[in-house]
Structure formats: structure tokens, C-alpha cells
Amino acid sequence: MNQLDTNLAIEIAHLYKSFHANNKEIKVLKDINIKIPHGKVFGLLGPNGAGKTTALRIIAGILEPDKGEVFINGCNIKKNKADIQRKIGYLSTGTQSYPIFTGRENIKLFGSMYNISKEVINQRIKELNNVLAFDDILDKKCQEMSTGQKQKINIARTLIHDPEFIIFDEPSNGLDILTSKKLMDIIKEKKEQGKSIFYSTHILSEIELIADEIAIIYKGEILICADKTTLIQQTNTSNLSEAFLAIIEEHASKNEDPS
Amino acid sequence: MNWNNVLIIYKKEVLSFFKNKEALLVMLLVPLIIYPGIMLVTGDLVAGQLTKKSKAILNLDIVDVSDNDSIDKNLIGLQTFLQDRYKEELNVRKVTFSIKVQQTYKSKKTPSLKEKSEILLSFTKPSNPTAQSFGDINIYYDSRDDISSVAVNEIEIAIEDYNSTLLNDELIKRNISLDIINLFHIQDFHNIAPKGHTLVKYGSSLIAITLIFLVFVSCQYAATEVLPAEREQNTLETLLATPLEWKEIIVGKYFAIVSAGILNAFSNLTGIVLFGGSIIASIDQQSYGSDLLTFTPLKVFTLLLTLIPLALMCGSLALLLVSFAKTRMAASYYSLPGMLLVSIPAAISLLPNTELTGIWYSIPFANITLYFRNLFLGNITVFSTIIIFINIIGFSGILALCSIFVSHRKDQVLAGGANFSLFYRPKTEKGSLSLSEGTFIALISFILFTTIGMVLQTKMEPWSIALSFWGFLFVPSLLYMKFKRVNPMDFLKLYLPTATQIIGILISLIPILALAFIFQMIFNTMVPENTQSSEMMQNLILNFNNQYGIFICIFIFAITPGVTEEFIFRGVLFSSLKNKYSWILVILITGIIFAFIHGINRAIPILPVGIFLGWLRYRTQSIFSVIFFHICFNSIAVLQTIFSNEIQSKINGIAPNLEINDIKVLIPLVLFISLTGPLAYFCITKSQHKYFNQDEL
């Protein structure tokens, strides 16, 4: 943990987080360790309530962990939060755009927060339009848009500063097949450009399509972290969804066993 | 802090504010509708009052008096008594007493006062006085002069005091009981200000309250839109993921709220200027003079300038309240206590005889309402303006800082979708309140103390003063500690200091008292008006001493503040701040808050005491040592006040020409400090009780 590996895009070491709810302490994350090299797509797979979003919030610098460290590009996020956040693009269900502003106003607003000049912002909007095709909704107020249209704006907003590290938390929620496909294309394109992508979802087919490495998180613990083929081989199954189920079942039975 | 980022957030908030056209319209139009209404109602009342015949006839109780000489003698006695009692006031407050003996019976003529500040006591001699007769006094004063209004109350008390001395003398002389009850009896107060003046005064209060309330509501609305709305729409997390720091986001939002407040205040001001002066002033222009509720450029300029601190204060309170809210709906619930916090102290300006003096300076919202009222009446001084500005801006600053802190905590908790941990009760005992828990409960205590507590204190009864301290500075924190299952031993450091340390503390009283005295002297020369509030305190102590005896005095002014203030400052606040900050910072923070909670006019002399108490708590690791010091310190001040005459005569015996404010006094004081200071330091640091933790130094 003390030896910083700058070859790693994201490194998470011994992360703990717990919340108080209804007068009970809930341990959301228990000793999470992840290492992601540059230029890879890392998939975080887990059922609802497994701690995916909390982990991603900590990586994005929104939430402070109880214990443990997060290093992005070898820098501790605690110490250089603003500099690191400048390089991160973070998208989740919790990060919406302002409903009272138009799509273009939203994108420009967030662009200005990353200190990007107006010309560059306009240029990037044009580039993103080539992929996302949101020309018709750009000047519509976000509150008048459909879920899919909003998500297009959100994606554009997340990528406006051309981030080195992209964190997507269930980005395909509410998207139709066509837009989902476009999202996958964007991720592939970004990967080719050498960006690192952290992708969390509970939809197996998406992970299967794009992830170089997959981690399965369940009840705040990482059960396994490997590439797709290793996963399937280790569990003696034929596909990812079977492997996923097998791993979770195995973990559940282990916990039931008192020894 | 990057101000460019603050500007981005500020612009964004203002832009979204302008996009909400309905709210904007309401915010700008309501004041323009409300003020003509207020003016019409007040104007109507004033007009009605003016047409009524004056009912104040000087009715005199005629009683049979056999001993005519004693009344004359007593009258001269009263005159000397009043003049003695207000000798200093005659210079400081410019109140002139002229006691006239009126011979005419049933005089219907209202005597004229040469100046507004004059107070006339008119005594009418009964034609056939008896031993039990009343000597009736009529008091003439002008309520347009604020100090006169206060002085009249004091005269009433003085006359009662004189009556009791007369009664005592008479009882002793005759060696018999109660055949004389009251020698002087205040029959009536005659306010000879123009009849409408009181109503105009209430009208001004009403305008001031409306102004403050509307500005607060606007700020509350704006605050709801900038913070809980973001949480509700899931946009706050988007902001948090950007490189903007939390404090930059909140400060940007705070300025947006303040701008909304200023905008609304400006619209209010337009309403007041357009409709304010014209209606009331048209009723009886001659009686009011041209300065009343008419708006000279200087007055409008001062008003405009004062809108800034008003908006700052309303904005910071609104922001702090909505920091707790997750949704717009929740924010509207939180706004209710805010409205009470604003309107109750503000409504105090409607009470008769409340003037912007002494304690009212330090109560937020009461002070600004009174200030605005005086501003409308054209009664403000440079001193009160400066004090109000410092007070309000300081108060808003503290609240704004709290909002940054609270909203950040809240967001950390919300991001996990959990309950607010301030109200989480742990299963097992723990050693300390966390930083947020400690500051939270201390803040609640301060708010309760400075609002309800201060109002209680104005009753000037021993129980009310004791209740304000124990009930608001002590009980809430104690209950919260119980709720959080905090171990009081660990948290409050309930350890007895050693005997050597106690001696050290006793010795340290000398240099600290001397230091406080020097600071007081410097402050008094800088701000001469300041003596007023300390005199109020002295009078209160003397009054209690006369009524209830010295032990009640010591309990109320030494033990009560000693225990409760130390409990909250060097106990709860100190220990919880220590969880995060260094010793020096904690000593400074607690010292400064401690000084300022004593009121802006006493803050500077008290600051060295506060810092010393912090150091003492740090060095002895015992709360009892600071409580002990505090009680001793206050007791000395109380005893000094009670026996001031004796002390003064002693001093006169030793050094007849010594003035207490003389620069020569400084020389022995500095000598005292340099001799006793190191000795006290040695005693306090040399020995340590057995639970002393060396690692904490």
C-alpha cells in the first residue's frame, strides 16, 4: 500500500465504510481491495445493495471512507482531491442534470467547472453529438426530456472534460437498446484512446461485452476478481451468469457453515 | 478557496433563480402590496387617536396632612436622593432633573419641557396633609428620546427605594410599626410626546418586523431551492463529483441566497419609501417634524447599507436550517423554527420601553429590528451602527460556517442513504462526543441561551437569570450526553486538581484580573459609551444584594455562570473540538466564542480570561480547576461591586487623588502581573493529579 504503483489507474486498499440506519450499524464495505491498470475496462458486478454505489462514490471523492485509501494514478485522493476529480468523469443515478436548465446549459455549466474554455466546450459538444446524436434535444429543458434523453445529456456532461478515468454506475438504466448500444460504443472508443473505465452494473450481458476484468461484490465484500474466462473456468460453468450465481451461492453456503 | 469556482456556483444559482418567474414575481410584488396596507392601518389608528380628547388630567389625591413640614423635608430629601443616585447619569446620559414644587391645585396645564431629554417630576402639595398621605408625583417625559424612556423606569425604582428608606427611618424613629405606608406615590406617567408618536413608533416597529420577516422568508425560499432541491433532484452529487470544493459550493450558494434577500429587501425598501412616510406624515406634519418617516438621501443610503447585514444574517440562518433537510418538503418544516427565531425577538421591539441599549445589542434579530425602527424614526448614532454591523456580520459568519459544516456532514450521511448520525444512539458507552455532535449541541445551547435565555434575563429576577444559565447552557448538553452514552469522566475530565494547583489558581487570579482590567481600560477609552452596560450590571448586583442578600448574589453571578459556562465551553465544546484540532486552536476558538457570548461590549476585556481558562483546562486536565477559577473570578467582581463604596474610601485614604482610569494605575498592575504570573504558572504546571495524561500535552 505504501509503494505506489503509477502503472495502476485506480488502486483501492483496505476500504471500510459503515452507516447508521434505524439505530443499527450497517457495514457496507468490508476490506475492499481493487487494482485496475491503465487503459482497461473494469466491471464491478453485484446484486442490489451489495455496496457498488458506495464504493464508486468513495472512488469519485464524494464520500469519505471510514478506513482505507484510494489512489488514482498513484495519488492519494484524500490529499489531492480537486486535482484528481478534475481527471474523473463520474456518472450514476444520483448524478442528474439540472432540470430547469437546457441540455446545452447543463453541459456548459459543468464544462466551466472543469475550467474549459467556451470554444473547447462547443467543439466537444459537436464531437459528442456525432456519437450520441442529441442535436434535437440540446436546447430543450431537462425537465421536459424523457429518461433516455436525460441520460444522453448526463453522458455528455460526464465526458465533457475528456476525463482520463471514467466511472459509470449503472449508466444504462432507463436507456433503450439503441442508446445502450451507443454507450457501449463510446466505452470502447474511450478504451481505445487509452482511458481507464470503471463500470458497475447488475446487468451481466453488458459486462460480458466490454469488461477486461470483472470483480463480484456481495454484501460489502469482493468475492472474486479475475477476467471473464478465468471466472468461468474456476467455477466450472459455461457462461458468466452461471458463474456469478455459483460464486454467490458458494459464499452464502460458506457463511451458513459455522466452522 | 478558489473564488472563481464560488462565482460559477453563484452565477448558476442566480440564473436558476431568475428562471423561476413566479417566485420572483411574488418576492418582488408582495412588499409593494403589504406596505401600503400597514401604512393605511397605522395611519388610520393615528388619525383616530389624534381626534380623541386628551384624558390625562392631573388628578390629585387630597388627604389630610397634619405635619406639613415633614412633607417639605421629605421632598428635599427625595430631590437629593435622586440627584445623588443619578449624579453620573447627569453627565453621561444628559438627563436633567428639575424638581419643581407646584403650588397650584388641579393644574390642567401640561408643563413644557425645554429639551426632549428632560424629565420633569411635578409634585403637588396636598392642602391638608396627614401622616398617611401620599405625596403625588407626576412624571413628564418625552418618549421620542430613547434614554428618557429608560430613565423614567429607573426613576420609578428610585422613588420606591426612597420610600423604603423613609419608611425605615420613620419606623426606627418612632419605634412603632406601619402607620406610614408610602410617602411618595407615582400617580401617573405623562408622556408629553405628540399623541401619535407612540403609534408611529409601533408603526415603525411593524414595518421593521415585516421587513425582516419578508427578507427571511425570501432567503428561506432561496435556500430551499439551492440545497434541498439539489438533494431532491439528485444533482448535488453531480456537483460533488466535480473538482469544486464543498466550501466553495456552499459559499457560492450562500451569496446567492443573500442576493435573493437583498433583492427582496430592496423591493421592501421601495414599498416603504413610496408609501411609508407619505401617509403617516400627512396626518400631523407639525407634531412629528420632518425627520419622522420621511426619507432623506442619507437615511435611504443608511437603509440600503443596512440591508446587506440583514440579508447576510437571514441568509445564514436560512442556509443553516435547510442544511438539515433532504427534500423541499423537509426544508419547509425546518423553516418554521427559523421563522419563530426571527419573529419572536423581532416582536420584542413592540414592547413598550424597549430601547436599543445594553442587552438588546447582543440578541440577534431583536437588535436589528430595534435598529431599523430607530432608523425609520431618525434616532441612530454612529456607535449603534458600528456595533450592529459588527454584531450581525459576526453572527452571520458563525452561522454560515456552521452551515458549511452541517451540510457537509449531512451529505456524507445522505450519500449512504442513512439517518443523520447526530441522533444515533450507540449501544455501548463511549468516551467522547464527536466534533459534529459536540458543536451541534453547543450550538443548540447557544441559540437557546441567546434567544429565550436572554429574554428570561430581562426579567431581572434571580430565578430567571439562574434558569437561563442552568436550563439552556447546562441541561441540553447533559441530556444529549446521556443520550449518546458518553462517559462524563473521560469527556469532561471530572478530576480534582492538586492542592498546589489550587494555590496556583488562586495566585493566578491576580494577574488575570489585572489583565482584564487593563483590557477594560483600553476598551473604555476607545468606546466611551460602553460604560452604560457595565453600570446596568452593577445596579443589578446591588439591587439583588439589597433584596436577597449576598449569598444569592454569589450564587447567581458567580457559581451559576462558573459551572454552566465552563461545562459548555471548557467541557463539551473543548473536548469535542479537541478530537480534530490542535490545542492552540481549541483554546483560541473556545476563548473567542466565550468572549463574544458575553456581549459585544464586554468581549474584549473577557478575551484574555477566556484564553487563560482554555489554557488552564489544557494544562491541569481538569474541569473543576476552571470552574474553581471562574467562580473565584466572578465572586471577586461581585464583592467588588457590593463593597465598592468601602473600597473607594479605603483607596481614597491611601491615595486621595488617584483616578481609577489614570495611566499611573498601569505601573503597579504590570508589576503585579510580572511577579504573580510566573509563580502561578509554576504552581499550576509543577504538580499533576494522578489521572494526568502526559501524552495529551
Q: Do B235 and A96 touch (CB under 8 A)?
A: yes
Confirm whether B399 is domain-assigned: yes
Q: Which of B371, B396, B421 is the last residue of a domain?
A: B421
Contact: A101, B417; criterion CB under 8 Å: no
Of B368, B399, B421, which closes a domain?
Answer: B421
> Is position B91 within any domain?
yes
Nearest-CB residue to B243 (from A20, A93, A114)? A114
Residues B524 and B391 in one domain: no
Residues of chain B with pLDDT under 70: 42-77, 79, 82-83, 85-118, 123-136, 144-151, 167, 170-199, 276-295, 352-353, 358-359, 412-421, 526-534, 600-601, 655-663
pLDDT in tens, A187-212: 888 899 989 999 888 888 888 888 88
pLDDT at A132 over 60: yes
Q: Do residues B185 and B222 share a domain?
A: no
Q: Helix, strand or coil for residue B138? A: strand
pLDDT, position A248:
83
Beta carbons of B243 and A85 less than 8 Å apart? yes
Q: Please indicate if any CB of chain A lies within 8 Å of the CB of B425.
A: yes
How many angstroms away from the CA of B211 is the closest CA of chain A?
Answer: 30
A86/B421 CB distance under 8 A: no
A99 shares contact with chain B (CB less than 8 Å): yes
DSSP symbols for B551-601: HHHHIIIIIHHHHHHHIIIIIIIHHHHHTTS-HHHHHHHHHHHHHHHT-TT
Angle of CA points B347, B349, B354, to nearest 5°: 140
Note whether B551 and B628 are same-domain residues: yes
* B8/A109 touch (CB, cutoff 8 Å), yes or no: yes
pLDDT at B76: 66
* Contact of B203 with B42, CB cutoff 8 Å: yes
Single-letter amino acid, residue B357: T
| Residue B118 sits in the same domain as residue B215 | no
Average pLDDT over residues A25-48: 86
Contacts of B118 (CB under 8 A, 6+ apart): B95, B96, B98, B141, B142, B148
Q: Are B185 and B231 contained in the same domain?
A: no
A178 touches B at CB < 8 Å: no
CA distance B266 to chain A (A): 26
Evaluate whether A33 touches A14 at the Cβ level (below 8 Å). yes
How many whole angstroms separate alpha carbon A149 and alpha carbon A151?
Answer: 5
- Chain B contact for A98 (CB, 8 A cutoff): yes
The answer, for A16 touching chain B at a CB cutoff of 8 Å, is no
Does residue B499 lie in a domain region? yes
Domain co-membership, B309 together with B371 = yes
Best to test chain B binding among A28, A90, A98 (most B CBs inside 10 Å): A98
Would you state the pLDDT for residue B219?
92
Could you tell me if B16 lies within 8 Å of chain A, comparing CB atoms? yes
Backbone phi and psi for residue B667, each to the nearest 5 degrees, phi listed first: -60, -55
Closest residue in B to A55 (Cα–Cα)? B416
Q: Does A114 touch chain B (CB under 8 A)?
A: yes
The CA distance from A92 to the nearest CA of chain B, in Å, is 9
A173 at B interface, C-beta within 8 A: no
Q: Rounded distance, CA B438 to CA B432, Å? A: 9
* Whether residue B333 sits in one domain with residue B254: yes
Residues of A in Cβ contact (< 8 Å) with B425: 23
The C-alpha atoms of residue A189 and residue A178 are separated, in whole angstroms, by 17
| Domain termination residue (choose one: B191, B219, B249) | B191
> Do B258 and B125 share a structural domain?
no
Nearest to B241 among A26, A62, A83 (CB): A62
Distances (CA, A) of A192 to A40, A170, A186, A196: 9, 21, 10, 10
Q: Establish if A82 touches chain B: CB-CB under 8 angstroms.
A: yes
**Cβ–Cβ under 8 Å, residues B144 and B152:** no
Residue A155 CA: distances (Å) to CA of A107, A176, B231, B233, B618:
10, 14, 20, 17, 54
Looking at the structure, tell me whether residues B255 and B397 fall in a common domain: yes
Same domain, B103 and B170: yes
Distance from CA of B485 to the nearest CA of A (A): 14
CB proximity B328 to A under 8 Å:
no
d(CA B15, CA A100): 10
> Are A20 and B419 inside 8 Å of each other by CB?
yes
For B484, name the nearest residue in chain A, comparing CA atoms only: A23
How far apart CA B358 and CA B457 sit, in angstroms, is 12
Q: Which of B536, B556, B340 is nearest to B467 (CA)?
A: B556
Residues B172 and B124 in one domain: yes
Report the residue of chain B nearest A107, measured CA to CA. B238
Annotate B186-222 with DSSP letters as a single string. EEEEEE-S-THHHHHHHHHHHHHHHHHHHHHHHHHHH
Q: Quick one: pLDDT at residue B565?
A: 93
Q: How far apart are CA A191 and CA A37, in angstroms?
A: 12
> What is the distance in angstroms between the Cα of B246 and the nearest Cα belonging to chain A?
10
A144 inside 8 A of chain B by CB: no
C-alpha cell at B654: 491611601
Interchain CB contact of B284 with A (< 8 Å): no
Question: So what's the pLDDT on residue B180?
Answer: 46
CA distance A222 to A212: 17
Which chain A residue lies closest to B410 (C-alpha atoms)? A63
| Chain A neighbors of B434, CB-CB under 8 A | none
Test A97 with B235 for CB contact under 8 angstroms: yes
Please give, rounded to a whole number of angstroms, the shortest distance from the CA of B638 to a CA of chain A.
48
Chain A residue closest in CA terms to B419: A21
In the numeric block, which cell numbers belong to residue A150? 436525460
Q: How many CA atoms lie within 13 A of B394 on its CB side?
A: 18
What range does the domain containing B638 cover?
A: 488-696
Tell whether B21 lies on the interface with A, counting CB pairs under 8 A.
Answer: no
Instruction: Please name the member of B15, B237, B243 whose beta carbon is closest to the beta carbon of A82.
Output: B243
Residue B441 lies in a domain: no
**How many domains does chain B contain in total?**
3
* Residue B124 domain flag: yes
CB pairs under 8 A between A and B: 88
Angle at B157 between CA B201 and CA B449, to 5 degrees: 65
- Dihedral (CA of B191, B194, B198, B199) sign: positive
B523-553 burial, b if ≥16 CB within 10 A, otherwise e? Answer: ebeeeeebebbbebbbebbeebbeeeeeeeb
Which of A21, A26, A60 has the CB atom closest to B241's CB atom?
A: A60
Q: Nearest residue on chain A to B242, judged by CA atoms?
A: A85
Q: Do A96 and B238 touch (CB under 8 A)?
A: yes
Residues of chain B positioned with their CB less than 8 A from the CB of A60: 241
Pairing verdict, β B135-141 and A41-45: unpaired
Q: Nearest 5°: phi and psi at A100?
A: -80, -15
CB contact under 8 A, B419 and A21: yes
Alpha carbons within 13 A on the beta-carbon side of B296: 11
Q: Is residue B158 part of a domain?
A: yes
3-class DSSP string for chain A: CCCCCCCEEEEEEEEEEEEEECCEEEEEEEEEEEEEECCCEEEEECCCCCCHHHHHHHHCCCCCCCEEEEEECCEECCCCHHHHHCCEEEECCCCCCCCCCEHHHHHHHHHHHCCCCHHHHHHHHHHHHHHHCCHHHCCCEHHHCCHHHHHHHHHHHHHCCCCCEEEEECCCCCCCHHHHHHHHHHHHHHHHCCCEEEEEECCHHHHHHHCCEEEEEECCEEEEEECHHHHHHHHCCCCHHHHHHHHHHHHHHHHHCCC
Would you state the pLDDT for residue B617? 93
**Structure-block grid coordinates of residue B133:** 398621605
Residue B57 lies in a domain: no
Nearest CA in chain A to B422: A20
Q: Which of B283, B286, B377 is nearest to B51 (CA)?
A: B283
Looking up cell 502561578 gives B680
Is A26 in contact with B418 (Cβ distance < 8 A)?
Answer: yes
Give the integer Cα–Cα distance in Å for B558 and B632.
7
Residue B459 is assigned to a structural domain of this protein? no
Q: How far apart are CA A191 and CA B114, in angstroms?
A: 91
Location of C-alpha cell 425598501: B269
CA-CA distance, B590 to B574, in Å (whole number)? 7
pLDDT at B425: 79
Residue B26 and residue B161 share a domain: no
